[in-house]
Chain A
């Protein structure tokens, strides 16, 4: 495969994604469905949590994605600032809405699970609070994109916001930890096998996470294509207006 910088050329990006997207869509749909069906119907109920444990297969992957998508936006913003590839800026823009949705899914599934388990939908727990803050960061980032008309200016300013926001999001995470003791359990999945949940839950969870990652890649490519097309359409309209005069 050629260098990843080839993607910086919108035409090559469009050509490549045109071929890859159908395959990716089918693959992500399959893995997503396998992971969730396996998790929902072919794992035993937990002896304490009952069937509510199964929301885990939505909650954990979406929470992971919510954080990692911000990381991806950070990388894309850096690439835009350093090398000024438009595809990169548009990919960051496309990822923001997906990241916000993932944050919302994590918050809502957590609330649904929290009611029977903790007896409350919402608690000012460090993890919950940091996700709420993350949601605010996503909203601010998207609002800034929407507010600026010139696309290059918007890309520049949102990239700077993404950089500064990342630092402050991390700071908030630790500040919030300091501020209140948590109700939320520690990490359910980590590379350290000692801390993991039991294998019966672990494998379908891995599949579900893979499904979420593929879903994100598919969606982000799709949305970036839409953005590129919108940009081309805008250029065409401008040209017609100039020629019409």
Chain B
């Protein structure tokens, strides 16, 4: 399983773009927003938490089909399914690798982009914390969505339709944490809720995703 983890990481780094693509998309999205709503810094400050979270969501979505689709096409997924490690473990490892190549860079880059959007200075800490806690949920929920659509020819659009509604609770609590952090309010409740969603997704969704993959490989 550890070897699978390094293999997935290496593939993401080498296959040109998998690693930086999400970040680039995040940057472009944040650059586009001021063009859309105008450069007024107060307005940008008000919408920055939401934009940063929605951007993280979309950047994550963009790279989801890489989790299983390539392995499904060249048959390695069949090998992994018959390998002596549980398929649930394979899913979890792949989702973790996806998080390290997509979620973690977003967490690290977010403060710089928050700076571009005039995010309130009190909110930077919470931006980092909530992204760090929330983005694993995005990867694991996304892995489930990718598993559902793995056998389909043009699954990309369908996958966004399936995955984005599942992202809603994470988004709500994440943006709420930043908003409260910026206003100097208590952030414990939404943060705890978000941590709960992440813990639940990490613990349970690999089983659902593995079930979906078994159906697709049947």
Contacts and interface: CB of A to CB of B under 8 A. Distances in A.
26 contacts: A133-B165, A139-B161, A140-B162, A143-B158, A143-B161, A144-B149, A147-B149, A147-B155, A153-B151, A157-B148, A157-B215, A157-B216, A160-B148, A160-B212, A164-B166, A165-B165, A165-B166, A168-B165, A171-B197, A172-B165, A172-B169, A175-B168, A175-B169, A178-B172, A178-B173, A178-B190
Given A140-B165, A148-B152, A153-B218, A164 B172 contact: no
Contact of B168 (A144, A161, A164, A172): A172
B165 A153 contact: no
A171 B169 contact: yes
Nearest to A164: B208
A160 B211 contact: yes
B176 interface: yes
Interface string B192-218: 010001000000010010011001101
Query: Which label, helix, strand, loop or mixed, suits the secondary structure of the B interface?
Result: helix
B144 interface: yes
B93 to A, nearest CB: 20
Interface string A147-162: 1100001001100110
A144 B152 CA distance: 10
B165 A164 contact: no
Interface string B143-167: 0100011011001001001101110
Contacts of A133: 165, 168
A56 B95 CA distance: 46
Contacts of A143: 158, 161-162
A177 B15 CA distance: 43
Contacts of A179: 172, 176
A137 B168 CA distance: 11
A163 B148 contact: no
Contacts of A147: 149, 152, 155, 158
B169 A144 contact: no
A140 B158 CA distance: 8
A129 to B, nearest CB: 9
B148 A144 contact: yes
A243 B113 CA distance: 65
A60 interface: no
Interface size range on A against B: 20 to 34
Interface string B126-143: 000000000000000000
A163 B211 CA distance: 12
Contacts of A144: 148-149, 158, 162
Contacts of A220: none
B162 A178 contact: no
Given A160-B212, A171-B169, A172-B168, 17 more contacts: A136-B165, A139-B161, A140-B165, A144-B162, A147-B152, A153-B151, A157-B148, A157-B212, A157-B215, A157-B216, A161-B148, A172-B169, A172-B172, A174-B169, A176-B172, A178-B173, A178-B189
Interface in B170-200: 172-173, 176, 189-190, 193, 197
A193 B27 CA distance: 55
A137 B190 contact: no
A160 B148 CA distance: 9
A168 B166 CA distance: 6
A147 B158 CA distance: 8
Contacts of B164: 136
A190 B162 CA distance: 33
Contacts of A171: 169, 197
A76 B69 CA distance: 30
A128 B9 CA distance: 42
Closest 8 pairs between A and B when the two form their complex, measured CB to CB = A175-B169, A175-B172, A156-B215, A171-B169, A136-B165, A140-B162, A168-B166, A179-B172
